[in-house]
Amino acid sequence: MSIDWLLDLQKSLEFGKEFFAVQGVGKGVWIISRDKEALISQAKSLADAKGFPITVYKLIPLSESVTGCVYLVPTKVEESVHRGEPNIQWSLVETKDAAELIRDLSQGPSPYFGALEVITVNPSNNPSSQKP
């Protein structure tokens, strides 16, 4: 179930495992992985395809959120799709209050995560290719 996946992600972050996130192709689609380099590569492809910068974020537990971080919030949690992959729609918001208001409550309060900018990747036709 997708909610179980979210709870596992929350526990993993609390135990110090690193996860990164990048916006996917569709609306509300985010790719979450432990492989930062793979997500940077994905961000380059997306930036070239969409024609605007794409940011890769490091996810952190709420207890470690600091001023200036944003929040990645599951806004729609549905049953897992084929192969047991989670089926979650996400939003990126600037405040905890906003996160509390928009998070999915259909299966109980879903956890959400702090997100710190790691790198912003510009489209390759842009002379300044990356901003750390």
Task: Evaluate if residue 131 carries a pLDDT over 60.
Answer: no
What pLDDT digit, counting tens, does each position of 81-127 carry? 777 678 899 999 999 999 999 999 998 889 999 999 999 999 987 54
54 pLDDT more than 70: yes
Q: Given the structure tokens 């929350």, which residue do they identify? A: 10
What pLDDT sits at residue 126? 52
Band (pLDDT 50/70/90 cuts) for residue 78 is confident
**What is the spatial distance between Cα 41 and Cα 2, in angstroms, rounded to a whole number?**
26
CB 36 within 8 A of CB 20: yes
Looking at residue 115, its amino acid is A
Share of the chain above pLDDT 70, in %: 92
- Cα–Cα distance between 110 and 28 in angstroms, integer? 16
- DSSP E strand stretches across 9-112: 19-23, 30-33, 54-60, 70-78, 87-93
